[in-house]
Amino acid sequence: MIEKRADFPKLKKKKRGNDVVSKVRAVGLNGLDGYAIEVETDVSRSADETKIDIVGLPDNAVREAKERLRAALKNSGYGIEGFCVTINLAPADVKKEGSVYDLAMILGVLTSAEVIPAVSPKKCFIGEISLSGDVRPCSGVLASTIVAKQLGFEEIFVPLANASEAACIGGITTYAVTNIKDLVSHLRGQISLAKAEHRPVKTDDAPALDFSDIVGQHAAKRACEIAAAGGHNMLFIGPPGTGKSMLAKALPGILPEMSEEEIIGSSRIYSVAGKLTDEKPLVTRRPFVTTNQSVSVPAMTGGGSNPVPGLVSLAHNGVLFLDEVAEFPPKVLDCLRQPLEDGTVSISRVRGTVAYPASFMLICAMNPCPCGYYNHPTKACVCSHGAVSKYLNRISGPMLDRIDLHIEVIPVDFSELSQPGAAESSAAIRSRVVAARQVQTERFAGTPVYTNAMMNSRQLREFCPLSAESSALLRKAMERFNLSARAYDRILKVSRTIADLAGGGRIEPAHIAEAIGYRTLDRDTWGA
């Protein structure tokens, strides 16, 4: 039998009016967007067994909170035997999911039972309750803190393990909560919980792999520089062991440092996905996300009954790398079309549609054939011509059109491998990339566009005028290789980036020619 606790006072008969129920505030999330949740609680004496009802369209995780609340209250010294508790999560027409409302609900019970005074409407509470009364970490705290600040809350109470990420948001006071007893004492004015110190946003731009570590591959490095400067998608094609994966892994190191806005934007996604930690509360380095051929469409784009971000959103502001891309299921590759075009991914469910940002650079790598040695200078390919064509055609034309640069990566000669002296560093390449990005920032000022790869048709006409000579060269390439209209746009965008790297405002025929050279797989005679 549950022992009755002396510090759970005898309830007074309540009168009709505004004080009939207690009100405690929390925050709910729908994707990255959020809304205020008002937890209304009524506690009354009951002649029957103790009963807890939770209404307001709760899911199973929220319904199960009644047992967590019962045990947490008992083990914290506030037994509720002989009481009838009704909790309403308003607005009642919005589905409530997860365990993040536990903290607000238990405070609602204690407030209604007059254990603690009425809670200020400027305070917001987020956290899961353990059976012992401890406050457990939960996902989405950073995103919830941003929403709470936008909604006008002045204070937010979060689990201790999530305090570091919440404290990254300025303009709102963050308190770290360890257990119910301490929080009750704080709200009673008996103690003061420590405020989580606001942590300024700092970048961490140390590259995991430096371009100076990659020997040779000058043409491929040049293509990486162009891709980084303009935000272009890129495909490496070549035999095994030529350094395709190394080039992809080194590419984030030549991208510009993340701005504070980008850090917060990426961190919100990782927060909702539950991938932030107390040691690393922010995403301070360009994301580099990779996966294998077994990935599913929901894992790539996001999904679930309560949609969570997928790999394309985790790669937001960074790089998504698909190695051996020809081995990926066609439906997985095709699901990348929308985020590559729009920079967002939409997940539709019965209750509505959730949109997550997904603006990333797509870097792919593949072998030229099933055995991997088609067009190899020294090793013979054992694949038939039909097998080679079938292998290359695993990437659909529409998908290939969305990849700006097709780069052939060839084996490095022994003379280069044995040549002393380091190659150009990532820092040196980054300096040119940053200068080109600055040109684009000024060019697209006042618009949502910030790289050449994002230009629309109107901006292409405005910023990519061609001379008669350049136009004739592009026309000849379009006719010879039977390029699509999308490929035409991609060539113009890459040409614009090459011109920006050269420091000139005009697109020259040489820039057009180089951009055409990066459409390798558009040629029927590739590798012949």
Distance CA 351, CA 168 (A): 32
Three-state SS for 40? strand
Q: Which two tokens stand for residue 311?
A: 């790999």
Instruction: Answer for the pair 27, 37: CB distance below 8 angstroms, yes or no.
Output: yes
Beta strands in 78-129 (DSSP E): 83-90, 123-125, 128-129
Q: Sheet of 405-408: strands edge to edge?
A: 288-291, 319-323, 361-366, 234-237, 405-408
Distance CA 88, CA 113 (A): 16
Percent of the chain as helix, strand, coil, to the nearest 5: 40, 20, 45
Is the pTM of the predicted complex or chain greater than 0.75? Answer: yes
The segments of the chain whose pLDDT lies below 50 read 1-19, 525, 527-528
Residue range 148-179, pLDDT digits in tens:
999 999 999 999 999 999 998 989 999 999 99
User: What is the reported pLDDT for 389?
Assistant: 85
Task: Name the strand (E) or helix (H) holding 364.
Answer: strand 361-366
Instruction: Answer for the pair 354, 307: CB distance below 8 angstroms, yes or no.
Output: yes
Q: Which two tokens stand for residue 301?
A: 């784009």
Distance CA 405, CA 386 (A): 25
Q: Which two tokens stand for residue 98?
A: 């997860």
Q: Which domains, ranges and CATH numbers included, belong to the chain?
A: 22-188 (3.30.230.10), 211-522 (3.40.50.300)
Distance CA 333, CA 326 (A): 9
Q: State percent of the chain over pLDDT 90.
A: 52
User: What is the reported pLDDT for 8?
Assistant: 47
User: What is the reported pLDDT for 351?
Assistant: 66
Q: What is the DSSP letter of 276?
A: -
Residue tagged 């689990």 (tokens): 159
Helix axes 218-230, 485-501, angle to 10 degrees: 100
- The closest alpha carbon to 228, from 212, 245, 247, belongs to 247
